[in-house]
Amino acid sequence: MKIALIGSGGREHALAAKISEDKSCSKLFILPGNPGTKQVGENISIVQDDHNAILNFCTEHKIDLVIIGPEKPLIDGLTDKLIKNGIKVFGPTLQAARIEGEKSFAKNLMKEYNIPTAAFEVFNKENYDYAINYLHKVDYPIVIKADGIAAGKGVTIAESFDDAKEALKECFVNSSFGSSGDKVVIEEFMSGQEASIFAITDGLDYVLLPAAQDHKRIFDDDKGKNTGGMGAYAPTSFVNEKNIEVIAKEIIEPTLKAMNEKGSSYVGCLYCGLMLTSQGPKVVEFNCRFGDPETQVVLPLLEGNFVELLYSAACGKINKGAVRYNGGTSVCVVAASKGYPDKFEKGFEIYGLENFQQNIKVYHAGTKEVDGKILTNGGRVLDVTSFSEKNNLNEAKRIAYDAITKIHFDGMYYRKDISDKAIKE
């Protein structure tokens, strides 16, 4: 099978590595890819927003399956364009991708189908005064979310009315998130452990992959600003035999049913962000794609035929036995640039990327290659990912941290407590 993977981050490097090892894949192209994906496939310099060029490339090279990594091309309708031209795609259509692209759509869907999530109200820019009024009446903390995509930065947990008003102003007055902030969801604050679970689906049937726990805040002990994710581990023991049933029956199944009834059948990876509250699992958010960095720790746990899983889902008849959990554990620690998620500098040379053992993979997230040197080129730079064959989180953590200390670039920063919540538990 000839496969084209769209994207250029750490998630795509992890996907590319997994796909390239699969016996069903005869040729892997990554559009545009990064210096890491180049080691496992062929990078093609076509950017994710150039849908025409992607279509032409796939037609010319008789691509059997396109896998779309990031949310932006999905929300912009790349799937629809490729499908119309007879190309098989793993990833939802524009209508189905609204589950991530419009938070108000996802929240209203959950309300209509009684899918457990935080209580909420939606406000438009034109109703600024109503929204302020509403903020006078609610309990704090409260959560304010820009409706559209905002690179993980559109969510504020407001401790007081003043914080909430400020967050609302960022959306409605300062337009900090562009049109993504013209509408906001204001929702109840939930507490509990967070978990991310991927449902691979053909629209009707689905397979749940092992659950992961992301670490969204920049500093240890979940302090500081939200980021795209500073590290993850899988499987997480917070998702257990008891609550997985609830997640499947009360969240995943009704969501797929709802999408079908809305005429937006969902094909691809449905990312379900959960809060495991004292009242049971509730949805924090849905994403229309694999998570980053959760993918980095979930894929090493799968044995079997991963390409077959995605291809059969894209063809409308998922092969539910294509992959199995292999019994292992994985920890990913993100090496970030000093200053991230605010302003940071780029272009520093990265040292120590060679000579890792089999149980370590260093995925490139924000790097570039110049004259044979690998330089930093983003906020999240590398995803140092360990694998332990045993279900031993302590060991997987130790392997990951041993490896990251061998890597160096100016201003390198990483969290020291990835997976500690589960280890303590």
Closer to ligand AMP by Cβ: residue 189 or 413: 189
Residue number, nearest CB to ligand GLY = 291
Report in angstroms how near the CB of residue 291 gets to ligand GLY at its nearest: 3
Contacts of 366 (CB under 8 A, 6+ apart): 9, 337, 346, 376, 377, 378, 379, 380, 381
Q: How far is CA 186 from CA 104, 107, 154, 165, 190, in A?
A: 10, 11, 12, 11, 12
Q: Which is nearer to ligand GLY, 16 or 155 (CB)?
A: 155
Residue placing its CB nearer to ligand GLY in the complex, 202 or 294: 294
- The answer to whether the bond into 141 is cis (omega within 30° of 0) is yes
Q: Return the residue of 36, 92, 229, 378 that touches ligand GLY, per CB under 6 A.
A: 229
The values of phi and psi at residue 12, to 5°, are: -70, -35
The residue whose Cβ lies closest to ligand AMP is 285
CB contact set of 240 (below 8 Å; sequence gap of 6+): none
- Nearest by Cα to 193 from 299, 282, 294: 282
**Which region, judged by CB under 6 A, interacts with ligand GLY, from 51-59, 129-137, 153-161, 290-298?**
290-298
CA pair distance 309, 288, nearest whole angstrom: 17
Residue 161 CB, shortest distance to ligand GLY, in Å, is 29
Residue of 292, 297, 313, 393 interacting with ligand GLY (CB under 6 A) = 292
Q: Does 287 bind ligand GLY (CB under 6 A)?
A: yes
d(CA 80, CA 91): 10
State the nearest-atom distance from the C-beta of 219 to ligand AMP, in Å: 14
Q: Can you give the binding site for ligand AMP, defined by CB under 6 A?
A: 118, 143, 145, 152, 155, 157, 187-190, 194, 216, 226, 273, 284-285
Whichever of 77 and 273 has its CB closer to ligand AMP, that residue is 273
Compute the least distance from the CB of residue 234 to ligand GLY, in Å: 12
Residue 155 interacting partner from ligand GLY, ligand AMP, none (CB closer than 5 to 8 Å by kind): ligand AMP
Residue type at 339? G
Nearer to ligand GLY, 199 or 375 (CB): 199
List the end-to-end C-alpha distance of the chain, in Å, as a whole number.
44
| Cβ proximity to ligand AMP, 33 vs 154, nearer residue | 154
Q: Which does 284 bind (CB under 5 to 8 A by kind): ligand GLY, ligand AMP, none?
A: ligand AMP
Asked if 154 and 145 count as a contact pair (C-beta separation under 8 A), the reply is yes
Minimum Å distance from CB 43 to ligand AMP? 30
The residue within the footprint of ligand GLY, chosen from 291, 300, 328, 366 (CB under 6 A), is 291
User: Whole-angstrom Cα distance, residue 221 to residue 331?
Assistant: 17
The shares of helix, strand and coil residues in the chain, as percent rounded to the nearest 5, are: 30, 30, 40
Measured CA to CA, the distance from residue 366 to residue 363 in angstroms comes to 9
Strands 2-7 and 65-68: parallel
Judged by beta carbon, residue 63 or residue 96, the one nearer ligand GLY is 96
Q: Smallest distance, Å, CB 189 to ligand AMP? A: 4
Whether 419 and 238 have beta carbons less than 8 Å apart is answered as: no
Stretch touching ligand GLY by CB under 6 A, among 285-293, 320-328, 393-401, 404-412: 285-293
Alpha helix segments (H runs only) across 180-264: 241-246, 253-261
Count of residues in contact with ligand GLY, rule CB under 6 A = 6
Residues that bind ligand GLY (CB under 6 A): 214, 229, 287, 291-292, 294
